[in-house]
Amino acid sequence: MKTKNASVKQTARDRKQVLILVPSIPSPRSARREKTAYEALTLVAAGHEVLCLPEDKPLSAKLDEAALASRGVAIYAFPSVTRADVSGRLKTLITANPGLELIGFVGLEAMRRHLVDARLFASAKRFFAVLGREDVAALGGKAGAAAGEARFRDADKNLLSCCDAVFCEHAADAEFLKRVFGADARGLASISGALAKLGAAPGGKPVKLGVISPSARPPAGLQGAFAAARQAALGKGLDLAAVNKLLFEASPDIPAWAVISRPYSACGALWLRLKSAYQTFPNAGLVLPSPAVLKSAGARPPAGVILEAASLNRQGMHSEPLLVDDLPLVLVRAEAFRRVGGFDTRFSSASCAWTDLGLRMRQAGFRVITAEDAVVSSRPPAAAPGDLNIDLLVHKWCADGLSIMELLVFELGGRQP
């Protein structure tokens, strides 16, 4: 008997931790949406240690909370919370539970609110979603756009691609998501066994990367994130015509290119964080690092310490800038670059050239993403004749609507000394 009990304890101790975010504490006696959430939690709890984080906690939730607790579900609920509070608590639970391997979201709206931030914050975890009939019906309204040329405009398709598995209330819904969105979807009844097979998240295969830089050697730190498939050495600075020629003539099996214009210092996880953003946003035409401003006055910690501290402070954060700084490094999705025709070689300012390229990518349905935790620092480049470049940039985009021109003028004005 002692041996058997020891075996049971060992099994319980070895159960994988799963964190599941739900809209509210679900009840088996309530509407279909809540019943689906309740069923998902109890099925997962049968084979895993479940941490449940509700976005909202109704006053009548005590009995439902007790019912779930009796099934082995640990509830982390709060009387009232904002979206930012939920996001912060989600990240806190991820940090406080290093053994956590799987993170799930119940419902399409919870995915929309939190999946991207969670994936960027914890890119080494596995992610899954549980969708009810109403969620699949909402996605069904986008089926035509998702299957056609507008696929890169469909944010929900990109969300589904961020999930390692999607579980649906009905098998027919899973087949629909497979066929139309290419999701790895299956019926809800299989959730416990399917999650057990997912296991720990692998690092993933390195992404093939072309590198354009002043150096003939690939940059340090690529291992595990990118595999340098081609190296092209150019002179100092950003030669727009040369970059255009290289990317248009390059093999189509190289999906991403790193354009490096000058030496830089960076946080240790730079390339892993750029890769995470690149894969989390499959419609990102440009993925940018975040510039750090380092001052040398007085006694300060080494630059590397400052970069790591800035990176940790911004972990999991991203933004979508309209203007692109003259950065020492930019990650370019080759498909997006070719689709919009590459750089406009009339620009002599790298910042204006990148900004113009980013605006044209936006027009084509792509996005420009800054990975805020991929922190870099470099010496400022030599100043280019700014007025002519800014005049060209504003004039070029005037015809595309007053709103873009107003945003450009506002941002450019805000950056003047």
Enumerate long-range contacts of 77-82, CB under 8 Å, 24 or more apart.
77/25, 77/53, 80/56, 81/55, 81/56
Report yes or no on 353 lying in a domain. Answer: yes
pLDDT number for residue 149: 38
pLDDT number for residue 417: 36
Whether residue 212 is found in the same domain as residue 187: no
What is the separation, in whole angstroms, between the first and last Cα of the chain?
Answer: 78
Closest by CA to 315, choosing from 276, 264, 265, 260, is 276
Whether residue 130 is found in the same domain as residue 250: no
pLDDT tens digits along 326-372: 899 999 999 999 999 999 999 988 999 999 999 999 888 899 999 99
**Which CATH number covers residue 329?**
3.90.550.10
pLDDT number for residue 312: 85
Burial of 238 (0-12, 13-18, 19+ CB in 10 A): buried
Report yes or no on 9 lying in a domain. Answer: no
Could you give the CA distance from residue 39 to residue 18 in angstroms, rounded to a whole number?
15
pLDDT tens digits along 226-240: 888 888 877 666 789
Could you give the CA distance from residue 360 to residue 391 in angstroms, rounded to a whole number?
17
Whether residue 36 is found in the same domain as residue 86: yes
Closest by CA to 362, choosing from 407, 329, 392, is 407
Average confidence (pLDDT) over 250-265: 91
Report yes or no on 317 lying in a domain. Answer: yes
pLDDT number for residue 58: 57
pLDDT tens digits along 294-330: 554 444 445 678 888 888 888 888 899 988 988 999 9
pLDDT number for residue 358: 94
Report yes or no on 411 lying in a domain. Answer: no
Residue 229 vs residue 32, higher pLDDT: 229
pLDDT number for residue 301: 47
pLDDT number for residue 304: 77
Could you give the CA distance from residue 30 to residue 28 in angstroms, rounded to a whole number?
6
Whether residue 188 is found in the same domain as residue 224: no
Residue with tokens 């922190």: 375
Whether residue 94 is found in the same domain as residue 216: no
**Which CATH number covers residue 20?**
3.40.50.2000
Burial of 10 (0-12, 13-18, 19+ CB in 10 A): exposed
Average confidence (pLDDT) over 5-29: 67
Could you give the CA distance from residue 125 to residue 127 in angstroms, rounded to a whole number?
7
Whether residue 239 is found in the same domain as residue 360: yes
For 328: left if phi > 0, alpha if psi spans -120 to 50, otherwise beta; the answer is alpha
**Per residue in 176-213, is it b (16+ CB within 10 Å) or e — as a string?**
bbeebbebbbbbbeebbebbeeeeebeeeebbbbbbbb
pLDDT tens digits along 158-196: 888 889 899 998 889 999 998 888 889 999 999 988 988
Whether residue 238 is found in the same domain as residue 153: no
Report yes or no on 382 lying in a domain. Answer: yes
Task: Please count the structural domains in the chain.
Answer: 2
pLDDT tens digits along 62-73: 666 677 777 778
pLDDT number for residue 5: 36
Q: Write out the DSSP string of 212-269.
A: EESSSSPPTT-TTTEEEEEEEE--SS--HHHHHHHHHHS-TT--EEEEE-S--EE-TT
Whether residue 243 is found in the same domain as residue 366: yes
**Per residue in 331-368, is it b (16+ CB within 10 Å) or e — as a string?**
bbbbebbebbebbbeebbbbbbbbbbbbbbbbeebbbb
384: which 2 tokens?
A: 């280019």
Residue 184 vs residue 148, higher pLDDT: 184
Quote the domain boundaries for residue 280.
207-389
| Contact (Cβ atoms closer than 8 angstroms) between residue 170 and residue 133 | yes
| Contact (Cβ atoms closer than 8 angstroms) between residue 102 and residue 200 | no
- The three-state secondary structure class of 167 is strand
Residues 6+ apart with CB under 8 A from 173: 131, 133, 136, 185
Question: Which pLDDT band, with edges at 50, 70 and 90, does 124 fall under?
Answer: confident
Report yes or no on 412 lying in a domain. Answer: no
Burial of 71 (0-12, 13-18, 19+ CB in 10 A): middle
pLDDT tens digits along 366-384: 999 999 999 999 887 666 5
Is the pLDDT at 286 greater than 80, yes or no?
yes
Domain boundary among 198, 229, 264: 198
Whether residue 175 is found in the same domain as residue 269: no
Whether residue 243 is found in the same domain as residue 145: no
pLDDT number for residue 145: 41
pLDDT tens digits along 388-397: 788 888 888 8
| Contact (Cβ atoms closer than 8 angstroms) between residue 284 and residue 368 | yes
Question: Which pLDDT band, with edges at 50, 70 and 90, does 254 fall under?
Answer: very high
272: which 2 tokens?
A: 């892993």
Whether residue 194 is found in the same domain as residue 216: no
Q: What is the mean pLDDT of the chain?
A: 80
User: Which residues are 228's β-sheet partners?
Assistant: 209
pLDDT number for residue 385: 55
Could you give the CA distance from residue 299 to residue 290 in angstroms, rounded to a whole number?
24
Closest by CA to 331, choosing from 295, 382, 290, 381, is 290
Could you give the CA distance from residue 69 to residue 46 in angstroms, rounded to a whole number?
12
Is the pLDDT at 402 greater than 60, yes or no?
no
| Other Cβ atoms closer than 10 A to 410 | 10
Question: Which pLDDT band, with edges at 50, 70 and 90, does 211 fall under?
Answer: very high
Report yes or no on 1 lying in a domain. Answer: no
Whether residue 377 is found in the same domain as residue 238: yes
Average confidence (pLDDT) over 99-118: 90
Q: Look up residue 361 and give its amino acid.
A: M
| Contact (Cβ atoms closer than 8 angstroms) between residue 158 and residue 282 | yes
